[in-house]
A and B are shown apart, each in its own frame.
Chain A
Amino acid sequence: MREKILQIIEKNSRVGVDEIAIRLGEDEIAVANEIKAMEDEGIICGYHTLIDWEKTNIETVSALIEVTVTPQRGQGFDKVAERIYNYPEVNAVYLISGGYDLLINLEGKTLKEVAKFVSDKLSTMDSVLSTATHFVLKKYKDHGTIIQPADDREKIMP
């Protein structure tokens, strides 16, 4: 039951417990308990909204930053990652295999704000060796959702 509940609310977290119960042919209370348990266990970490800021008149800038760091004795990459992810403008931090170590997704209000974060905060950390900042020009798909669906296709009625 867990996997099916998660599949439903991963797509749409606003689906009510009653509807989930009907769709899965399960008892409503059992579904509610399962969701509560998954929240407590940290399996369900939050209920967010996917927003296409482009369509608003609010300016936002999204950047992906590659960072190489020196791992610290006894703490590896975790300590420096923590110093980075505690900044609220940092949306995501991943430890990456390959040519660099950390990948940061940053959501800022302006280009300047992002630049400032990189030059003032990130580059000046002791263990950060280098950074490479890539600005996002266009989002095609996010969280499994295609941002601008191709609505030019025709549905033909049989």
Chain B
Amino acid sequence: MRDPLSKRTVALKPSGIRKFFDVVNDMPDAISLGVGEPDFDTPWHIRDEGIYSLEKGRTFYTSNSGLMELRREICNYLNRKYELKYDPKSQVIITVGGSEAIDIALRAMIDEGDEVIIPQPSYVSYEPCAILANATPVIINLKNENDFRLTAKELEDAITDKTKLVILPFPNNPTGAIMEKEDLEAIAKVIIDHDLYVLSDEIYSELTYNEKGHISIASIPGMLERTIVINGFSKGFAMTGWRLGYACGPKLIIEQMTKIHQFAIMCAPTTSQYAAIEALRHGDSDVAEMCESYNQRRRYLMHTFDKIGLPCFEPFGAFYAFPCIKEFGMSSDEFALRLLEEEKVAVVPGTAFGDSGEGFLRISYAYSIESLKEALGRIEKFVEKLREEKNNR
């Protein structure tokens, strides 16, 4: 029989996060600090609005780009929060989570052989989606000493004649790094000089812990027409299971994305779209409350790392910390596996997010303070044991 599979698909590595959690599911007393998902339920008034839409019988397709009412609310929200001006009729598309938006943006913009610059460590889907879109991924390995920000120099060095698109994943999963205005201005200059486009994945934009808050690269002069902004409801509004995200950008690109979306997806879930309208209209205080709660856990986590003596740059975004474990002389995979086996704490090895994650762990603090306390206690014990082993050698 002929091989039924596509070589390109077979060659893709499965997500390093998933691989790890298949092990965890079989361990009842394990504590996980691994999942990249809010521990909050979706605020009740948002769920209630979803239920209400079902009761009303709103169970049909929406237009391909999504409900006009929702697109309008998204434009208001982006304008209010990040000073971004989009036309709801032609510059917004509602997608099945931010993930779909990443996929269709790449497919709409890339021709075979175009190079897409992907800074890593970063979310696991950029590279495979780029490959599936026939792009040649070019990886920039972000550095701990830069607090895992992307510098203009690093970007400049990665650009070739074939470069078309730069993926900008900030606030960053897995490092928690953010980009401040000056950082973005420097990047924008390089982008404009080389006539490139940006895919800015801002799914964690609501979760920043410095005073200035999140800044979108699209708000830098000259960048709105070169940027696809991707955002969604999963992280900020604790709506992961609703599968709802969106992309905003130049009409030209959104039009082509809508075409792919139309054939592959039809439209994002209708119930979720109605719930999302409520989230944008009346969800500000819920988001603020959750953000404050994450911030308290973040401080607690950083305090404990400091106490244990695990070096970790201070993350100002998302809900992850990225401590360095190089002192123990083992790989991230090995460390994470032993930590799971010996102390029953699950974290994700940094290498799941790219080779430059070697020597680091992703620790999510989207867990209750009680779970964090217990897990950090176990990590402390483990670290002490490793240090003792090392001294006895």
A22 touches B (CB below 8 Å)? yes
Judge whether A158 and B36 touch: CB under 8 Å.
yes
- Beyond A4-B292, A23-B369, whether A156 also contacts B241 by CB under 8 A is yes
Judge whether A158 and B300 touch: CB under 8 Å.
no
> Which residues of chain B come closer than 8 Å to A8, judged between CB atoms?
296
Chain A binding surface, main DSSP class = helix
A24 touches B (CB below 8 Å)? yes
Judge whether A158 and B17 touch: CB under 8 Å.
yes
B77 touches A (CB below 8 Å)? no
Once the chains are docked, how many angstroms separate the CA of A29 from the CA of B45? 39
Once the chains are docked, how many angstroms separate the CA of A25 from the CA of B298? 10
Produce 1/0 per residue, B291-309, CB < 8 A to A: 0100011011001000000
Once the chains are docked, how many angstroms separate the CA of A63 from the CA of B299? 44
Judge whether A158 and B37 touch: CB under 8 Å.
yes
Judge whether A19 and B300 touch: CB under 8 Å.
yes
Chain B binding surface, main DSSP class = helix
Judge whether A23 and B17 touch: CB under 8 Å.
no
Considering the complex, which residues of chain A in the window 128-158 have a beta carbon less than 8 Å from any beta carbon of chain B? 156-158
Once the chains are docked, how many angstroms separate the CA of A25 from the CA of B292? 12
> Which residues of chain B come closer than 8 Å to A158, judged between CB atoms?
17-18, 21, 35-37, 240
Count A interface residues, CB 8 Å. 10
Considering the complex, which residues of chain B in the window 15-31 have a beta carbon less than 8 Å from any beta carbon of chain A? 17-18, 21, 24-25
Nearest B residue (CB) for A7: B292
Judge whether B241 and A24 touch: CB under 8 Å.
no
> Which residues of chain B come closer than 8 Å to A24, judged between CB atoms?
296, 299
Produce 1/0 per residue, A11-39, CB < 8 A to B: 00000000100111100000000000000
Considering the complex, which residues of chain B in the window 240-293 have a beta carbon less than 8 Å from any beta carbon of chain A? 240-241, 292
Considering the complex, which residues of chain A in the window 14-72 have a beta carbon less than 8 Å from any beta carbon of chain B? 19, 22-25
Nearest B residue (CB) for A18: B303
Judge whether A23 and B296 touch: CB under 8 Å.
yes
Judge whether A23 and B299 touch: CB under 8 Å.
yes
Judge whether B36 and A23 touch: CB under 8 Å.
no
Give the size category of B's interface with A: 10 to 19
Judge whether A23 and B35 touch: CB under 8 Å.
no
Nearest B residue (CB) for A157: B21
Produce 1/0 per residue, B8-51, CB < 8 A to A: 00000000011001001100000000011100000000000000
Once the chains are docked, how many angstroms separate the CA of A31 from the CA of B380? 27
Once the chains are docked, how many angstroms separate the CA of A8 from the CA of B300? 14
- In the complex, how many angstroms separate the beta carbon of A37 from the nearest chain B beta carbon? 21
> Which residues of chain A come closer than 8 Å to B369, judged between CB atoms?
19, 23
Judge whether B292 and A22 touch: CB under 8 Å.
no
Q: Which of A4, A23, A156 contacts B297 (CB 8 A)?
A: A23
Once the chains are docked, how many angstroms separate the CA of A19 from the CA of B372? 12
Nearest B residue (CB) for A26: B299
Once the chains are docked, how many angstroms separate the CA of A24 from the CA of B17? 31
Once the chains are docked, how many angstroms separate the CA of A156 from the CA of B25? 10
Once the chains are docked, how many angstroms separate the CA of A23 from the CA of B17? 28
Judge whether B240 and A22 touch: CB under 8 Å.
no
Judge whether B297 and A157 touch: CB under 8 Å.
no
- In the complex, how many angstroms separate the beta carbon of B266 from the nearest chain A beta carbon? 24
- In the complex, how many angstroms separate the beta carbon of A15 from the nearest chain B beta carbon? 8
> Which residues of chain A come closer than 8 Å to B25, judged between CB atoms?
157
> Which residues of chain A come closer than 8 Å to B21, judged between CB atoms?
157-158
Please give the residue numbers on chain A whose beta carbons come within 8 Å of chain B beta carbons, in ascending order. Answer: 4, 8, 19, 22-25, 156-158
Q: List 6 A-B contacts (CB under 8 A).
A: A22-B300, A22-B303, A23-B300, A156-B241, A157-B21, A158-B21
10 closest A-B pairs by CB: A23-B296, A22-B303, A25-B299, A157-B21, A22-B300, A23-B300, A23-B299, A22-B299, A158-B37, A157-B35
